[in-house]
Each structure stands twice: as C-alpha cells, then as structure tokens.
Structure 1
C-alpha cells in the first residue's frame, strides 16, 4: 500500500517557482514549501534522482502524493472517488510518485 500525504491547501498567487533536485523523494522540502503556500506543479526523474517544481495557486485547493514501490492503484482509485485528479507523475526504477489535486468546491 502506498504512502498517502495531504500536502497543500490553496494560497495566493506569486511569480516564484521553487525547485528541488534530490537523490530521494524530497518530502521534508515539499512539506516546508506547502506551509509557505506552494503546490507541486511538476515532478520528474533522471536516473535515480527526483526533480520537483512548485508554484502557488495552480488551480486546485488540496493535493496528495501517492508514493509506492509498485503502481499504487488502490490509493489512486480511492482519491479519484474523493474528487482528486492526477496532475503529475514520475518514477524511478523502484518507486513511483503520483501527484493528485482536487479543485476547490464552490458553494
């Protein structure tokens, strides 16, 4: 079963886009940036390295990461039923990261 994290909630728009390249998936850095109001807008890999780009106000209010050593279909289907949609994905040889976002509900 995958690792499920609620990462970010909607904040104000700014022009900066923090980036991170890491030998492992950078959860601590992502959590720090989420507290500053950023969301993951892109995730990529090269060999065993992870690259993450974040920005503010990407068009969804909540975001989660499904990180697993196999394809985390159970977690993705559970999130899909809750209104989340895949916004980015990447994988290394033994790990996959699927980023899902949910739009803010208008009342």
Structure 2
C-alpha cells in the first residue's frame, strides 16, 4: 500500500519481481499482483511463489513449476524449498532487476 501511495517511486525504471502468496493483499484485500500488474507506474515482470503457489493453488509439499499466470500472463516461478544458488539462479533466469 505504501509503495503504491508513493507511485512506486523506489521501483521506477526497474523490472520488478515479487515473492508472494495468497496472503499478499492490500488493505482493501486485493492481491498485490492483481494491483501492481495493471499499474503503469511499476513494471512487474515476474512472480515467485513459495509453498502452495502465489495464488494458493498448489497442494502442500507440491510444486507448480514454471508457468504463466492465467489472470495476468506474468511468468510464475516456483521457489518452494529453493535457497542459496538455486534460488539465485531462478531470480537471474527471470530477468528481474529488483525482487
């Protein structure tokens, strides 16, 4: 909410990726990806989903792999159980400047 209120000033000129899950909502209970994606003030280019996926569609302990979100068309990268170099490799492959 604060980034949006400030016009995403800190993210201007960056290809932005967001790590989020179903609890990543604004004060008015809209998913942050659905708020950021259509906003021309921010260039959201990738989503990284932990366990259960960013929309909560993956089963516990399951992986959704890499896919495009049907609602936004954004590439979604599964980060469940990823850390260290494997996680860094996912961020690099996504082409984002800022996570």
Shorter-chain TM-score: which interval?
Answer: under 0.3
- Larger proportion of strand: 1
- Larger proportion of helix: 2
What is the TM-score with the length of structure 2 in the denominator? 0.27
What is the TM-score with the length of structure 1 in the denominator? 0.26
